[in-house]
């Protein structure tokens, strides 16, 4: 049975952190000549590996593996030796994928900060268009034309618009989207929105803000009978980045791995 830690994913969401680290541990000891591949998914301990086991080590880390020439050559391919300092290498618990993910997330957070400032400086009409573009990209509101008709046309009792939850219009979502500037949105505002939803016999609502929500507002939204989703400025910016709203890609890196089937499978002529 998988524990909570074993279920945690890398920021990419493509692989569990546990599986990633096990994979790199296997790769490291293989590069050091302690195990060898027999066929896909099968490994065999080598004579060198048996000798290491006989040492009854408390742990096997990078510092220990560095004694093997094959591992040194592998490490040399992964970095530019000329840029290394004379200081001993620090042990790290992060795999290359985790380190890369951290750098990516830092860049994404910086971009999100810039987006939030742009959102706060935007006009009400521009902010409305941004909300429409995002909701349509996320699969709500039907077409953009339909969403544009729905958003910004109501304004009744704290409701700024109504959008379809799906393209068939099987259910609707009531939207409140406001630029509160730097003012934190408190519980009273969310209570008003909840009352407005009840007045419309609505089941679902989204409250979008360029600022933050207080803890009391968040707790209230989680307890009411209506399903209310709060989207603060940070979350809004992250969604915009994920769906390419107001941003554009300029560098792409493709990460590849060895195709074990190609090297261990039986080829055909």
Q: What is the pLDDT of residue 78?
A: 58
pLDDT tens column, 24-54: 788 888 888 898 888 777 889 999 989 999 9
Angstrom distance (rounded) from CA 89 to CA 84: 9
> Average pLDDT, stretch 225-243?
92
Of the candidates 167, 168, 65, 191, the residue with the CA atom closest to the CA atom of residue 176: 191
pTM over 0.95: no
Average pLDDT, the chain: 79
**Backbone φ, ψ for residue 121 (5° rounding):** -90, -10
Question: Could you tell me the domains of the chain?
Answer: 11-81 (no CATH), 110-242 (3.40.1350.10)
The DSSP symbol for 81 reads G
Q: How confident is the model at residue 173, as a pLDDT?
A: 86
* Confidence at residue 91, expressed as pLDDT on a 0 to 100 scale: 47
pLDDT value at residue 1:
47
At 174-219, the pLDDT tens digits run: 888 888 777 889 999 999 999 888 888 888 899 999 989 999 999 9
- Whether the per-residue pLDDT at 12 is higher than 80: the answer is no
**Alpha-carbon gap, residue 230 to 246, rounded angstroms:** 21
């Amino acid at each position: 049975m998988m524990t909570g830690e074993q279920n945690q994913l890398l920021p990419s969401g493509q692989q569990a952190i546990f599986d990633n680290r096990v994979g790199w541990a296997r790769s490291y000891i293989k590069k050091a000549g302690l195990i060898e591949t027999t066929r896909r998914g099968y490994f065999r301990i080598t004579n060198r590996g048996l000798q290491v086991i006989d040492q009854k080590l408390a742990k096997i880390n990078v510092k220990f593996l560095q004694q093997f020439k094959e591992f040194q050559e592998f490490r040399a391919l992964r970095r530019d030796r000329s840029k290394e300092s004379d200081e001993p290498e620090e042990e790290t618990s992060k795999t290359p994928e985790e380190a890369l993910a951290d750098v990516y997330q830092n860049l994404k957070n910086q971009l999100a900060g810039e987006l939030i400032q742009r959102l706060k400086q935007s006009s009400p009409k521009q902010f409305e268009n941004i909300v429409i573009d995002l909701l349509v990209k996320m699969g709500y509101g039907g077409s953009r034309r339909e969403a544009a008709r729905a958003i910004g046309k109501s304004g009744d009792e704290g409701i700024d618009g109504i959008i379809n939850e799906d393209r068939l219009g099987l259910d609707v979502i009531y939207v409140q989207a406001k630029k509160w500037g730097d003012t934190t949105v408190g519980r009273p505002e969310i209570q008003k929105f909840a009352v407005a939803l009840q007045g419309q016999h609505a089941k679902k609502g989204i409250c979008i803000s360029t600022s933050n929500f207080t803890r009391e507002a968040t707790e209230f939204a989680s307890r009411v009978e209506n399903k209310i989703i709060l989207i603060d400025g940070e979350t809004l910016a992250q969604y915009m980045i994920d769906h390419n709203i107001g941003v554009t890609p300029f560098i792409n890196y493709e990460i590849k791995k060895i195709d074990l089937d190609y090297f261990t499978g039986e080829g055909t002529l």
